[in-house]
Structure 1
């Protein structure tokens, strides 16, 4: 079998061809053959290696004292005959290594968009990813822009694609503050909070790292994004096929890279137990990658639960003059709240009833369409000078929730301790009558579980109305419906892991 470079370099239009002015390393060429997608793989007899499969192969290569590029040599091919890794037959590896022509055509397409490709063995692969994720770090990274920005760290800003205008305005102000203090902004490139964060940073002359789940090639050639890429203040990166459309799995999977490319993270608003923001924040808390700050008070019902599970309250207002750098430096990475701190934080998160507005309700993230048209991370309209800039629109990448299956047995629900505050109940208040009911219900159930009839009697409302509102509160996870006898208690702060 000829070497990898002979498989595909003759397909180049001339010897001066460069992928973003830099050839692939020999190891990266082989990793790309093994793991990369070039289009049309569904019709092929063998599929590219998944990241987990490649990690198993990498362990085997290390045990054999081989590098990926050695697989294109006689010694490497001889070693393949003794490959004994689950689901990795030598004939599959040999087939993937023979895809040189398909790789050449893909590289030419990507080069025209200014894309580069690096693998875990390259010197410019982000050390942050390898340090945090180890063998779970993606075998390949595709990107556009200055790769050195991937080592800048900074603040990951995360939130809903359907955030309120007040939340978007707050996001832009925090991102601009990052720019003024020399902190890069890491975000996911979706519309809503992601786009507002990147808009706020770029308009203030800061650096942005966009971690995309789909349409990297289309996004990189957008005229507005090209400006940031060429000026060296924007880098776009993705572990997925640069021409891939929207995928819920990819959108959820890229969350970890947003966190691990940052020094700390800030959740603007989160739904409760659902949505991409919630799932990513919970994964970060579970793995302890970076300190998780949560806007306090926020508009999302999940904010309270994230703080209760270890997140740090972020109380800076949009017009605060306090330094972000000083704030982050004052909290050690392993800072964990005590139980009393959690109770105090929950009380702080309770928005006074008079301050609650109709826009203070952030809906949970709905299901995404299968694929959406790619749009710039920062739209031309948002870049135009305006006294009230509108949020930029971005490539849609936030995924629908892949809710974790509960491991709890079905049965009677334990009544919560009185010390556990119903913060997430009050954070969902709005101006309709249900909001007033919710506030009074929180106070009423603080003394223990009550029946539907008792609740209706004490709140002086019809039993049918109480039943309807209790059903609504139960479906939102704000109260627990107990059995034998049927009663209602305040929702518990369950484990988020």
Structure 2
């Protein structure tokens, strides 16, 4: 994969692949810097702290920090090549298949760096999200499976987190039904790629597994919370099959998505629902009591252009870049 200078500069600014002491930029810092520059970050390559201070009015520690981050470009290029050889691509907003729905819906909370393996073109398609508790009931599990079949019939990707329970049940059902999946992971991408079922789906061109965290990073609650918003942003509609009430990852992710309008949230109201499902409906989630209701929601998403916020992304020859609306 040929790496553009803007993409390499973005990776230098935010990546944690290099074991050094310089602190990479957080997502919000990266987007604010991009807006401030008014152009791709390749203009920072090869510049020392004094040059940065003179050319871009960076001051003090920030100029030294940016200079040190830019100085990692060569070392990072070797790490990126290593990942490529293992089947993992590194996507930035300056790469073709970076999911543009994320910055459109998440703003400064969108990750500027994504590790992905598989058919990355699937990241450009709004899918059906299916999420829920790890300890889902047998009836709730059936709901997850039927929802996944709905995505396969509509020829759109099933979007989920790959965790035990609802996530894994839905993803497996979508693949078994001949559909495609987008797995947005909070656990190790490298480990996920050792799963024979996943490898077969990737080989068939029906899956992409991705994570905004280093490919070898293990699961933690913080990563899971950061991952949840990406599922809602990626999907046209996300169905919460079963949620705990007032706590837990599913509840927190759904309530955040509703409050921040990351994406359309539906909630299952029928046999197999969780104790928190009624509360999610009261907070604004669309109730669904039969799988056919998902078709109506998905048809509405396709027909109504107002369901998504106006794009905040300006397309460039190399990909996308936040425009001045984010200043």
The two structures have a TM-score, normalised by structure 2, of: 0.85
Question: More helix by proportion, 1 or 2?
Answer: 2
Aligned to 1:311: 285
Q: Is the 8 A contact 1:189 1:212 kept in 2?
A: yes
Aligned to 1:300: 274
The two structures have a TM-score, normalised by structure 1, of: 0.57
Q: Is the 8 A contact 1:172 1:201 kept in 2?
A: yes
Considering only aligned residues, what root-mean-square deviation do their CA atoms show, in Å? 2.5
Matched, 1:218 2:225: no
Q: Distance in 1 between matches of 2:174 and 2:295?
A: 15
Matched, 1:284 2:254: no
Instruction: List runs of 5+ in structure 1 lacking aligned partners.
Output: 1-21, 336-497
Q: Distance in 2 between matches of 1:155 and 1:188?
A: 12
Deviations 1:194-244 (A, max 9, x none): 000101100000010000122112212433311111211101111111111
Superposed counterparts of 1:87-486, under 5 Å = 89-297=62-270, 298-316=272-290, 322=292, 324-330=294-300
Q: Distance in 2 between matches of 1:86 and 1:307?
A: 49
The one of the two structures with greater contact order (alpha-carbon pairs below 8 A, sep at least 6) is 2
Q: Is the 8 A contact 1:212 1:238 kept in 2?
A: yes
Q: Distance in 1 between matches of 2:10 and 2:134?
A: 34
Aligned to 1:56: 32
Deviations 1:171-200 (A, max 9, x none): 112211221222321001111100001011
Higher Cα radius of gyration: 1
**How many Å apart are 1:302 and its aligned residue?**
0.7
Q: Distance in 2 between matches of 1:107 and 1:135?
A: 25
Q: Classify 1:74/1:239 alpha carbon distance in 2 versus 1 (closer, same or farther; 3 Å).
A: closer
Runs of 4+ in 1 over 3 A off after TM superposition: 73-77, 79-88, 330-335
Q: Distance in 1 between matches of 2:293 and 2:259?
A: 28
Q: Distance in 2 between matches of 1:71 and 1:128?
A: 27
Deviations 1:55-93 (A, max 9, x none): 22212211xxx4211112569973444655699611111
Matched, 1:23 2:25: no
Instruction: List runs of 5+ in structure 2 lacking aligned partners.
Output: 308-327
**How many Å apart are 1:35 and its aligned residue?**
0.8
Aligned to 1:392: none
Q: Is the 8 A contact 1:259 1:265 kept in 2?
A: yes
